[in-house]
Amino acid sequence: MKTAGKMKGTKNIVLLVLPQVQLLDIAGPCDVFTSANRFMMNDQIDSEYRIYLVSGTADKILYSSSGMPITCGHTIYDIDFPVDTLLVGGTDLTVLDNINTDIYTFLRNIMGKVRRMGSVCTGAFVLAGAGLLNGKKVTTHWKFADILQKSYPELEVNVNPFFIHDQQIYTSGGVTSGMDLALALLEEDFGQPTASEVARHLVLYLRRPGIQTQFGSALPDYDMMSRFIKEVRNLLKHRLGENVSIEDMSEAMNMSVRNFSRVFLKESGITPGRFLEKMRLDQAKNMLEYTDMSIDMIAAQCGFGSAVSLRRLFMKHISLSPSQYRKAFKGTE
């Protein structure tokens, strides 16, 4: 195996740990980098990663979302070594409401000293809170992409890719996407042969096919919607097969079309027509996964009119045809 002229030497990788972090946000990239070390040692390549777990608080022992303790060697208050790459693990968004703002100061101060900085899953909210993603193309977990965009309108959020690279900032999607990102960073540092070997060892694709939104819902979780949007959704959920207009929606809410459209866009971030389209898409995905109904029948019941229209929307949003989606995601019986 050769490094194909890529960078050599030791690179210090910081995995920034927050309370309630998902273990795989940290363990996934860590396993990619440590596996790379083993392969490079076996091939007598004079390169390695040194991985440091650094707490985003004053405590060196933090508890993951599963309750498992994570012991960090350092905190953001005592880093005494140069950092090549820093990745922020994700956490529950409620944790960020109470996090010490020192973490944002730390990230802003270290930004000019690192070669690259990135995030896994909802770690993007931490980088955004520090003001480091302004004007950048970014991604995060598909479930929270709309919230990230609404909270930080200066960002360009794209939910589809498993990871995005914009200048020295790297953001990845949900959970296992952190391993996709780590493999990309490894390939960037030491070449495709090393990255491919690590991917095979971990039984991963070096470049995972598809897009992140194949795995999620087109709309955010019901609990994340405002009261107004929930009410509209509840009105629409039994009418997806009908020809529903904005006039119908506004009349049902006892509002003028203009006021309804304005309020809906403000509270959801999308137009009523776009929202209805996403509801229909989610319903079609559920029916493909959990029923044996024909694609023509699903198209009719979800308000698409024809299987051609359904296929067009699937290709637009998730880059799979309805039949491909059913084959990939329908459970076995």
Distance CA 145, CA 148 (A): 5
Distance CA 98, CA 83 (A): 27
First to last CA, the chain: 43
Beta-bridged to residue 164, according to DSSP, are 171
Cβ-contact 118, 124 below 8 angstroms? no
Residue in the structure block whose two tokens are 């995905």: 285
pTM for the whole thing? Answer: 0.80
Q: Could you read off the pLDDT of 205-224 as tens digits, one per residue?
A: 999 887 887 887 888 777 77
The per-residue pLDDT string of the chain (333 residues; one tens digit each, 9 = 90 and over) reads 344 445 667 899 999 999 999 999 999 999 999 999 998 887 667 779 999 999 999 999 999 999 999 999 999 999 999 999 999 999 999 999 999 999 999 999 999 999 999 999 999 999 999 999 999 999 999 889 988 998 999 999 998 899 999 999 999 999 999 999 999 999 999 999 999 999 999 999 999 887 887 887 888 777 778 999 999 999 999 999 999 999 999 999 999 999 999 999 999 888 999 999 999 999 999 999 999 999 999 999 999 989 999 999 999 888 889 999 998 888 654
Alpha helices in the chain (DSSP H): 23-42, 93-96, 102-111, 123-129, 145-151, 177-190, 192-201, 227-236, 246-252, 257-268, 272-290, 295-301, 307-318, 322-329
